[in-house]
Chain A
Amino acid sequence: MNLHTKTLAALAAGLRARDFSSVELTRALLARIETHQPALNAMISVTATAAMQEAAAADGVLARGGGGPLTGIPLVHKDIFCTEGVRTTCGSRMLDNFVAPYDATVVAKLKAEGMVMLGKANMDEFAMGSSNETSYYGPVKNPWNHKLVPGGSSGGSAAVVAARLAPFASATDTGGSIRQPAALCGITGFKPTYGRVSRYGMIAFASSLDQGGTLTATAEDAALVLRAMAGFDARDSTSVERPVPDYVAALTQPLAGLKIGLLKEFFEKGLDPENERCVRAALAVYEKLGAQLIEVSLPNLALSVPAYYVVAPAECSSNLARFDGVRFGHRAKEPKDLMDLYKRSRGEGFGAEVKRRIMTGTYVLSAGYYDAFYIKAQKVRRLIANDFERAFAQVDVVMGPTTPTVAFELGAKTADPITMYLNDIYTIGANLAGLPAMSIPCGLVQNLPVGLQIIGRHFAEDRLLSTAHAYQRETDWHTRVPPGYE
């Protein structure tokens, strides 16, 4: 029985029907991880023993007729989520030795559902990167072609799901870190509204932009997990006190009459024509399904990348100040004095991209520059949010490509950070405005996946998921598995 190619929804049904056990499923996926990890480098930690115990426990619950739809389903957590007793590195040498003393809220919630953790996924260091090349643990390879990047920062999570090593991997998205790797790996990536999922226990990169979400094969799978992940958390003041709708029940909302906004600026220069062809084909499918396409504009889109690269580094420079070698994480050997302890612990513990952003952030917050950079960037942020608001006055969701191109080669952009940053041009806007957004596979260009991005109104997760689900009932791009991983 080929369990690994089944969707999470199908696996849940199979477990309930006792077609197979969680122990069998977990064992099969651990075996796949063992086989493919050397080539992919998608994992930082594999917790096989604990996983088998959790699977056995889940089987016990299922045998007694208990549990929920997620009980016994294996998952992988991005290594940015703190896991009690399990090393949480955030892809950094700084936290190479860090064993979290507590579970992140997301981890605790999914554990409570009876999900089985297989391990922790590789990622860009502190989630800073768009190619997974900044990880202290080495780059992750794209399952579609091992010479290419999987995207980032949730590259490990995306590769795990694309290679069918787990039906779900948690991820975080600060400027596109869920959607971009989902697009480059040919899977479904979902970033909820800012505040929908608790950030407690998710190691902060840029607090006002970070949001936890899902990487799965399908929108239906995303709905199943998101329903359990979302919700107010008293430990996160920025999480929103608002009931969580039944995203699974909402999947079948009718599509007819849906107004889809075509993001004009997303189709202008920079977009690869082949990618554009795939995206337009997907839009045609929606039209055929009864949706109405209306062109909308985000006139300030061009400002989103510079604004993001002020706000995110500013917050990161402050968020990462706690890594000082004093209480946890990397500590320089035999420091001469306090300053030496700080300088060497941080100098040795952080990689080049993290240092670059800390320095940028420190600069833009400095006296004399704060107004010109940080305040200006916050104003731009408001302008972009207003652009979206205007668009949503006309349409229900907006669509466009997730990325300008398909996956690029490892090392192709590492020498030029600006080129790398521009790869996030289509995804950053949703973070700046706090909007829910997702990427679904909508074609292949030279046998590499292309992503369709869907962005919705605040808290319209249900609308996004049902829109994606409708497409996935008509097409089979989401069922494509990278060659060699079938």
Chain B
Amino acid sequence: MNNETWETVIGLEIHAQLATKSKIFSASATAYGAPPNAQANLVDLGYPGVLPVLNQAAVGMAVKFGLAVAAEITPLSVFARKNYFYPDLPKGYQISQYELPIVAKGHMDILLEDGTIKRIAITRAHLEEDAGKSMHEGLGANSGIDLNRAGTPLIEIVSEPDMRSAKEAVAYLKKIHTLVRYLEICDGNMQEGSFRCDANVSVRRRGTEKFGTRAEIKNLNSFRFVEKAIHFEVARQIDIIESGGRVLQETRLYDPDKGETRSMRSKEEANDYRYFPDPDLLPVAVDEAFIAGVRATLPELPDEKAARFVSAFGLSAYDAGVLTVSRELGNYYEAVAQELPQDPKLAANWVMGELAAALNRDGIDIGESKLSAGRVAGLLKRIADGTISGKIAKEVFEAMWASGADADSVIAEKGLKQISDPAAIEQAIDAVMAKSPGQLADYRAGKDKLFGYFVGQVMKATGGKANPAQLNELLKKKLA
């Protein structure tokens, strides 16, 4: 859609639910899936007389995020009230941060398709409480309200309008998704709404500096929806302008069933939230000692890990990016690679290839893998030392995946050990040549393509166990 005439401009507001045990201003549990309102106490219900008390764990997590995106941490941040009426907002206001967010300017680098790195500026990240949920199904003409989610801590991460395509937006969103899980401050579960975003989208004529009027697309809860919603929205806006219209500043909702965005409310209808500092809460003082304490808990960050994989294991930037998409995957790969110092690239190919496919097939995470890193390394060692071929290794892998057994016992049990004895291979070659005089004559007359035929026949004769490299070499010699 980023055609010759039009340039897309995107900024994201990401909401990440913080993985605290209790809510941001009350002692209620935050666990997902409890019966409606089972996790809403008097504070969450906004009862008369109750008061909020800030959960320190949420502050620590926000600071952790700030440090991980190289942001300034605001020494004295302030909670404000965002006032509006809605049934799932019990107090009639949401406690959020407005003028003084806890995390100020930071940034996140993304890898573009052409291999270059682009820096996306993060404007701010602030702490706030989530609202409850209105339920409209199964209640007849009525609507229900579930306040379990009310008061769940969120950080809202606001980017500058630095992204120029849906792909960039998704790449950035994925990087933040990876980061919050590395930091263990958010479970990243998009289905359950723990990680979602709003996209501010506008278009402008290439070469112009002024941004076009933007639409805010609300509540996108999958990477695919983000991409599709942006594509739709960009096309819609270009269409409007090209047919002489004007894009309205408005809030739009993405409908995944229809694959389109539709208007929720225009700027004129927008709420005046009447923000003011919440007098029930003191400013949040974060001192150097607190920051140092949080800094000490920072793990190796995804970009650091990826850079190390490139330098230590000789991986491409792309592969390193894939392998560091989660902390668990990175650690798994590293464990395999460390046992296979002679060929860390082979380890990368297998972890991204066979292992990823098997995990995907079974719908499980790397943490639940049926094979430990040690088992996989054991298999790859047998490829490296020539005991089995890469092809046989796939068969061995499947058997290991099914039984959980180690590579050597599968190889022994199934008799899959590679034939690396030149005499045995030569013997097999001789037998094939004897059975195929016609092909031999044709080959020798210049039909080079028949080389493959001989390889296939020998492999067939040896049950696929002939060492492919040796076979190649010996066959060339014999056929010459």
Residue pair B52, A237 in contact (C-beta under 8 Å): yes
- Total A-B pairs, Cβ < 8 A: 99
Of A314, A320, A321, which is within 8 A of B276 by CB?
A: A314
How many Å from the CB of B63 to the closest CB on chain A?
19
- The 8 A-B pairs at the shortest CB distance, nearest first, are namely A321-B92, A208-B279, A365-B274, A207-B279, A201-B49, A322-B46, A203-B48, A82-B49
B38-62 Cβ-contact flags toward A at 8 Å (1 or 0): 0000100111111111100000000
Q: A315 touching B279 by the CB < 8 A rule?
A: yes
Judging by beta carbons under 8 Å apart, are A101 and B83 in contact?
A: no
Residue-wise, chain B 73-86 has the 8 Å CB interface mask toward A (1 for contact) of 00000000101010
Q: Given known contacts A208-B279, A237-B282, is B90 in contact with A98 (CB within 8 Å)?
A: no
B247 at the interface (CB under 8 A from A): no
Does A15 have its Cβ within 8 Å of any Cβ on chain B? no
Question: Which residues of A, 248-286, contact B by the 8 Å Cβ criterion?
Answer: none
Contact B92 A322 (CB under 8 A): yes
Q: Which of B42, B49, B280 contacts A238 (CB 8 A)?
A: B280
Which A residue sits closest to B143, measured CB to CB? A338
State in angstroms the CA–CA spacing of A204 and B46 once bound together.
Answer: 12
Whether the pair B54, A203 counts as a contact (CB closer than 8 A) is no
B48 touches A365 (CB 8 A): no
Interface pair B280/A237, CB less than 8 Å apart: yes
Does A415 belong to the interface (CB within 8 Å)? no
Complex Cα gap A234–B45 (Å): 19
Further 7 A-B residue pairs, CB within 8 A, beyond A204-B280, A367-B272? A207-B279, A318-B276, A321-B85, A322-B48, A324-B85, A342-B85, A374-B276
Q: List B residues at the A interface (Cβ < 8 Å).
A: 42, 45-54, 81, 83, 85, 87, 90-93, 145, 272, 274-276, 279-282
Q: Pick the residue among B46, B51, B280, B282 that contacts A327 (CB under 8 A).
A: B46
**Interface SS of B by simple majority:** loop
On whether the beta carbons of B46 and A82 are closer than 8 Å, the reply is no
Q: Is A326 an interface residue (CB 8 A)?
A: yes
With both beta carbons as reference points, the residue of chain B lying nearest to A102 in the complex is identified as B42
Cα distance A212–B49 in the bound complex, in angstroms: 12
Once bound together, how far apart are the Cα atoms of A366 and B275, in whole Å?
8
Are B48 and A237 touching (Cβ within 8 A)?
Answer: no
Can you list 16 A-B contacts (CB < 8 A)?
A82-B49, A90-B48, A98-B48, A101-B42, A102-B47, A202-B49, A206-B279, A235-B51, A235-B53, A318-B93, A318-B274, A321-B91, A322-B90, A322-B92, A329-B48, A342-B85
Shortest C-beta distance, B93 to chain A (Å), equals 5
B47 touches A321 (CB 8 A): no
Contacts A342-B85, A366-B274 given; indicate if A101 touches B49 (C-beta within 8 A): no
A interface with B by C-beta (< 8 Å): 81-82, 88, 90, 95, 98, 100-102, 104, 199-204, 206-208, 234-238, 314-315, 317-318, 320-324, 326-329, 338, 342, 362, 365-367, 370, 374
A115→B47 CA distance, assembly (Å): 26
The complex places the Cα of A88 from the Cα of B51 at a distance, in Å, of: 17
- Rounded to whole angstroms, the CA-CA distance of A236 and B275 in the bound complex is 22
Which one, A200, A322, A328, contacts B51 given CB within 8 A? A200
Contacts of A327 in B (CB 8 A): 45-47, 90
User: Is B87 a contact partner of A326 (Cβ separation < 8 A)?
Assistant: yes
CB <8 Å contact, B81 and A318: yes
Q: Which of A101, A237, A314 counts the most B-chain CB atoms under 10 A from its CB?
A: A237
Contact between B93 and A95, CB atoms less than 8 A apart: no
Would B49 and A234 count as touching, CB distance under 8 A?
no
What is the distance, in angstroms, from B334's C-beta to the closest C-beta of chain A? Answer: 44
A67 to B281, CA, bound (A): 36
Q: How far is the CA of A101 from the CA of B40 in the complex (A)?
A: 14
The chain B residue sitting closest to A367, CB to CB, is B272
Report the Cα distance A342→B42, complex, angstroms. Answer: 21
Least distance between B146 CB and chain A CB atoms (Å):
13
Chain A hits for B91, CB < 8 A: 321-322
